[in-house]
Structure 1
Amino acid sequence: NNFATLEPGEPFHAQVVTVAASVWWNWSPAVSTNVLIDTAGSGFNPVLAVYTGPDLQGLVPVAASTNDPLHGLKAHVNFNAVQGTTYRIAVAGYDTNGVGPIRLRVAPGALPDYIGPSVSITNPPGGIVSTTNILTIAGTAKDDDPANAATPVLEVFLQVNQNPPVPVIGTTNWSGTVTLPPGTNLISAFALDLAGNLGATDQVVIAYVNPTNDDFADAIQLLGTTGVVSAINGRATLEPGEPLHCGNEGGHSIWYSWIAPADGTLSLTTTNSDFDTLLDLYVGTALTNLVDLVCADGFGILSQAVVSNQLYYISVDGYGGASGHIQLQYSFIGVASSQQFVNLTVDQPLGGTVSPTSRTLPVYSPVTLTAAPEPNYQFVTWTGGVTNTANPLNLTLGADLEISAVFQVKKYIDSFETGDFSAWPWTTTGPSPWLVQSNVVALGKFAAQSGAIGDSQSSSLFLTLQTQAGTGSFDLRVSSEAGFDWLEFWLNGVRLQRWSGETGWLNYRFAVPSGVNVFEWRYTKDANYAAGLDAGFIDDLYLPVGGTGTANLTPQIGLTFLPAGLPLITVQGPVNQLYYLQGSVDLQTWTPLVTNVAGLAGFQFVDPQATNYPARLYRALAP
């Protein structure tokens, strides 16, 4: 109703004298029945009024509503509708600021949705002890009122202790990552439905113990010839009989062990720690017989000749009882290799870039690797010779290293959760078309499946879109006669990949050029026989879509408040246009909140951090 107006002589709907920007619908029931007319899911708080009568001058009020303060819902009415009567339905803003997307539901025999969705944490179980502060929480959510399937789960939130709640990925099946402080933590999950109802909270108690290597007997083994480990030593203590590391009283030591794979040199450093460390290297089997080989005070760097298959112990403490975040880097070079240079091999994955690129460096050279995700992707971890989540990653290279960054999609453009192909201009060809089904899915409730075809036939699913240059991604599964029946993926008439036999859900990524692109998923069969489900499946599609041409890309932004006091921001613009939503408290510094693509009704975002500020401003920008 952004550009709607009041007509001359139009009544004050629901007796609101400031009413503005009205739009109208007509509805006539086929039978006499009780009916619910509801505005749940609209992008603002509308005024709703229902009339009978032939024209504006002859309108007779039937029912009206501005909101439902008792239940915290948007405007809705229930009344007994008479068969054959034409009802005039007006939806308007409470004042001139009341504009945005409208969701109007006319439901004979229904009642308003007062029941919030239920949520369940399925993993991890409560009562566990975690040795890492980064934990993935997963679960399910559903609307417990089957009579109100039209107001499904909108969003699920996770909360650690009293920290602000944060949204997760997914609804029916969801997952999110939380950061745990040391100690016992209460993790809560709750869900919000389209009507604005908050459901009951599910909770688990998880203890995070850090460090786990406080005692000599619990030393963590360092694996391989090079790597980086991180720890927090603030809760660590000295054991009875423990030596003074580097001759200082310390007080917060932690322990590591390492076995030399050959004769050579072991290099250790705590340079990237945030306090003055005591770094010590020992041999021995117990605190009572340790032999101190070498130590380094300050932000320690040390090298020591080591013997093949010897077990070494490494202690990290804080000078004068200091503590904080420890980063211990280790690297080994064997004497037989006599290396003066090392090779750094950087694999460049799809979804982002890594700098610097592959190169040869002098041995023991420091290097900083930085992973830069593409838009709508995020960095996850490093893999290869080093497994670490730090970004940038600081290393000292004592041996050849091959490393790769892992990126993941932040938000899919289609997970088929509409239950059909309505989200984008999909087309399907072949003797039997592709369909959206709920029996075989990767995440959520639905996935696309190839049509049932016979021998020597194929079934294709097409999507033609204007895209930016970037990386596409989708999940796939195939269940077919191995080596004969195939699920194939084609881009602009060129086959990029194909799969056959029995697979679990796989992820496939590919480079997408800028411009109009034709994406095709084709299931094809040979001349005889079938196996398995005889089908291909796809789910969780991401493409770097974006606006084009000379259209006005300036977005319209609307704001309304949910019953819990959280703001619901609605952004509207040209379909398929990418927008960045940002927040600020002073109009000077803007914080990124979400990046999304406008659909037919734009997109919406619930800001879980808003209650931390006296006031917060929002803006949406096109790239």
Structure 2
Amino acid sequence: MIKPFNDDFANSQTLTGATVQVVTYPLFSTGEAGEPQHLPAFQNRSVWYSWTAPFSGIGSVDSLYYSSPAVYVGDRLDQLVRIAGSTNNQIEFTAQSGVTYRIAINAHDQDPWSQYYSGYTLVNLGVRKPPLPTPDNDDFAKATLFTGYDGTLTSHLASASLEPGEPWPTIPSVVARSVWFRWRTPFSGLALVDLSPSTAGVLVAYRGNALTNLTQLAFASGGRLQFLAEAGTDYSIIVGDGGWPVSSGDEFDLRLYQVRPRLALPVGGDVLRGRDGVHLLAEIADAPTAVNSVEFFNGNVSLGSVIGGPFEFLWANPTAGPVELWARAVDDTGHGSDSPRVTVYVRPVNDDFVDRREISGEQGQTGGSTEYATVETNEGIAQGAGTNSVWFQWTPPRDGKLVVQANAAYAWPNFAPFVPRITIAEGPTLSALNVLAISGPPDAVGSPGPPQNVTVVAECRVTQQHTYAICVQGWTNISGPFELNWKFIPRAPNDDFARRISLIAPITMGSNVGATGEAGEPLPPTNSLAKSVWWTWTAPDTGDARLKVSGGFALAVFVGTAVDDLLRVATGVNGSEYIAGIPTPNNTVRFQAIRGVDYQIAVTDVGGYEGDFTLSLDSPQATPRIDPASPTVLPTGEFFLRLSGATGRPFVLQSSSNLVTWSDVLIDTFQGATFLYSESPSLLRPQSFYRVVPLVDALSPPLSASLLNVVPGATTTVRVVGPPGQPFRLQASEDLKQWEDLAGGIVVGFAADALDPTSGGESFRFYRVLPWR
């Protein structure tokens, strides 16, 4: 068999604790040189343990199954001093706190019964406190007297009893053992009694000088007892077992102390206005010692101290919501005494518009709460929301956009969600505010359970040197704390229609970060927050034009010179193309451009997205032209012209003798970049002018309007004829002086029809069509 690892003294197993149980196998152990003889009748077959007593008391060791213990002290095997030992399997000894004991468990190897067990032995080791004597203050007449205003007394309930005539608490509680204390309170005020441990028993306070005339003042089932005391009066305090078993070695501490300070202001339950601060006033009870200073607290946070009376303190910028206030008085002996705690409710400092809190910087974060906030009488901004609001104000460093975000969590313990609502407004007074932005509710609040954050955002355009008011309130009457974040985004240079940038290069980098919408701005047919930027482009030629924007943006093309009077030419939303086999978001628009027309281009967010993008432009093919150096007349009289243009583009060569009337000379298509035209001498005229135009221009009629049908009292149809892609504005008049817009559109093919539903009873009604500029 394998020897136990703690067979030798040097390999003793260390045990710790007041009670220990361990399994060992001493039958397979051996003795060693210098080891004392543990049992006279048996040879040494021992295992060793080392144990340090955690406190003084009666130590005990018992070992089962044919083994006996022995206890020693000493650090060397050959110098051990025997403390206790027996041929029986249980011993007791006097244990001293901090002393290390060496314990040997020796097997009964010659016992006739040992052959029937496997050598297994269970060892129990422990120490217990000795029984306490009957407490001196067991009877009422022998109560322990205390005359101070703060002290701790120690006693126990072991061997205590009830004496004849001892009263039971009026609040039902079984008391089988009790001890008595008598407290002569030095001054009037609140007296407190703390029992430690709090489960050691029940506390009862009486007034009276005999068991037969005691009046119960207070009762507590452990923990803390308190009552109002008068200076110089004796009060009897009883500690009873409460019907629970009492250990013979259990002691308890009883702290008796009086509270000198009392908060006269504020009064518990008051609702105070945060802007005024919280006025605290501590009153001090008379006592033999004088109070030098009072420190005021909110919960565990010190608010400040006052040295010398009167003990008044103003808490500026107090925490909003319920606060727990108390005071600590320190007398000339250095003793401290705490006042009872009072709870008051503080309205936020920035509850009213005039007290809005200043925040600054291009970005930042602060905390706040709508708890106990109110709504002012003329606070119309809060209509349809909760009845609690707080205010901030912020001034931008320059033009741009302000983004404000509020985060809140479920309010404990009822799990009711506080959902903030943000309003950004501008104006000098509450009644004259112009609302600029209101946050929407979060997409999902969630279900009751562990706290979840909810976030709302509001954003708007801001102007340098203007001051903006920010209101935070609840979407319902539920209030709560929140975290407020703000960020300033500089304005994009082409954010406004009036600040649009000329589009010249075929590829342009752009960004709508910091962009905002403006009044009258047309929105794309998608979920957009009008975060748009603008370009303007003048078509150099007539023909097919293409614009493409990368990323998830909307692209729109308009004609017009005012943001609220634009005609939409083309729109691209939610497009994509495959690049290297990967679907990539982009939007492309194609439209028929007209030479000389100014087109306004807007790149707008989809779903509020902000970011960088690339704007690509494919202009119409170059207009055919005559090489000015090419006209050549040969000696034979033959005439040559060199034409240039885009391959595959049809053209018309025209001639004129007076630059007024033009006739077609040739209709053809460029097969390459140039085309050589010649005329025979017989076709030459004394004076000829030539020009080349795209075929579509030659075939396109000028912009005009005509009536298709006129039925008195019914709708009139007006047909607009013009070049394909031509933006037009149709107007109507009754006197050829006052014209009103009737319709706008784009010529498709060569014609477009418009309806005039207002025509009817007029004597005359005139129509005209103009290019939309």
Fold conserved between structures, TM > 0.5: no
Structure possessing the higher relative contact order (Cα contacts under 8 Å, 6 or more residues apart): 1
For the pair shown, the structure with the greater C-alpha radius of gyration is: 2
Output the TM-score relative to the length of structure 2.
0.24
TM-score of the superposition, structure 1-length normalised? 0.29
